[in-house]
Amino acid sequence: MSSISIQIRYLLTVAISCLLFTVGTSTAEDAGNLYNTNFDINAGLKYFERQCSRCHGFDAKGNDETGAPDLTGRLSRASSDVGVFNIIRTGVPGTAMLPVAADLPDSQVWQLVAYIGSLSTDPANIDLPGSVVAGSRLFRNRGDCNSCHMIDGEGGRLGPDLSRVGERRNPEELLTDILDPHQEVAPRWWTMRVTDNEGVTREGLRMNEDSFSLRIMDAESNLWSYQKRQLASIERVEESTMPSYTQTLSDSDVDDLVAYLFSLRKEN
């Protein structure tokens, strides 16, 4: 196993501020989060489990059925603590996201903001042992990762686009993705093998499947769409097509790759 040890540090210097947070339905406009100690994060977790998990999930990874978004990565509606605070306080009109109770103190809303913030991994708070530069080189050369994965428009189509993978996967998850790619495979990357009524068999990545039809992309990037009733057989392989790199990469290689992948964000 890799020697990576990930230390997540919350370098939370509490700025002394003359801002006063009052109980009520205030909207935060220009303030950082003063309620961000581990105690606050834990209080936020408790509130989240009770009030928010029904839609966002106990793991805050969202729920396609309710339409509640994943809160563990980059947030689509807010890019700062203040933005998150305002959404919690005012809700999102026209959606099931209702405002919290009007009499909930701002301090508790901030604790919730702190908990949500703790779910996404701020790269500034993480020391990684690997080298981003070495990882980038490995990705394109010896590792041959770019034959399947695209970054910023360059690379293959047989795996997920990794241009912003650092926003949605933390270093531990990236490590698992490299060493044990079958552990967590999104259905988009399952493989389908289908044979039509004329006996023609095709295999490809599962672009989409529904009750009556399916669409795949084969190894040559051809897109195929079928009605299920046209098919004599449908086989689904719920595994990743990516090999494990346990044997082919050294621990330090893996460290470098993780550092590089984790650095891939919009701003970079």
Partner 1 sequence: MNRFIALLAPLCLGLGLTLPVLAQEDEFQTVITPAFSPVTWERLINAEDEPENWMMYSGTLDSQRYSRLDQIDKSNVAELEMKWSYQIPVIDRAETVPTVVDGIMFITEAPSNLTAVDARTGRVYWRYDHELPDDLRICCGRNNRGVAILGETLFMSTLDAHLVAIDARTGNVLWDTEVADYEAGYSKTAAPLIVKDKVVTGIAGGEFGIRGFIDAYDPATGELEWRTYAIPGPGEPGNDSWSGDSWKTGGAATWITGSYDPDLNLIYWGTGNPGPDWNGDVRLGDNLYSDSALALDGDTGEIAWHFQFTPHDVHDYDSIQVPILADIEYQGSTRKVMMWANRNAFFYTIDRATGEFLEGDAYASQTWAQGLDPTGRPIRVPGMAPTYEGILVSPPIVGATNWYSPGYSQQTGLFYVTSFDGEQEFFKRDEDYEEGERFTGGGGRYNQPMDAFHSSIRAINPATAQIEWEFPIMPRSSAGITTTAGGIVFTGSADGYFFALDAATGEELWHISLGARVHAAPMTYAVDGKQFVTIASGNVVYTFGLKDD
Q: Does 241 bind partner 1 (CB under 8 A)?
A: no
Q: Does 99 bind partner 1 (CB under 8 A)?
A: yes
Q: How far is the CB of 19 from partner 1 (least distance, A)?
A: 25
Contact yes or no for 203/195 (Cβ under 8 A): no
Give the single-character DSSP code of 49.
I
Provide the mask over 187-226, with x wherever binding to partner 1 is found by CB under 8 A and - wherever it is not. x--x------------------xxxx--------------
Q: How far is the CB of 213 from partner 1 (least distance, A)?
A: 8
| DSSP secondary structure string for all residues of 132-162 | HHHHHHHHHTTT-GGGT-EETTEE-SSS---
Q: Which residue has the tokens 């303030």?
A: 31
Radius of gyration of the CA atoms of the chain, in A: 22
Q: How many angstroms separate the CA atoms of 103 and 97, rounded?
A: 17
> Residue 199 pairs with which residues in a beta bridge?
none
Q: Which residue number, 13 or 76, has a Cβ lying nearer to partner 1? A: 76
Q: Which residue number, 9 or 54, has a Cβ lying nearer to partner 1? A: 54
Instruction: Pull the structure tokens for residue 78.
Output: 């807010």
Q: Which residue number, 48 or 85, has a Cβ lying nearer to partner 1? A: 48
Q: Are strands 223-227 and 213-217 parallel, antiparallel or unpaired?
A: antiparallel
- Give the SS3 label for residue 53: helix
Q: Does 102 bind partner 1 (CB under 8 A)?
A: yes
Q: Which of 59, 180, 239, 251 binds partner 1 (CB under 8 A)?
A: 59
Provide the mask over 29-58, with x wherever binding to partner 1 is found by CB under 8 A and - wherever it is not. -----------------x--xxx-xxx-xx
Judged on CB neighbours under 10 Å (0-12, 13-18, 19+), 39 is exposed
- Summarize as ranges the residues that interact with partner 1 (CB under 8 A): 46, 49-51, 53-55, 57-59, 64-67, 91, 94-96, 98-99, 101-102, 186-187, 190, 209-212, 229, 238
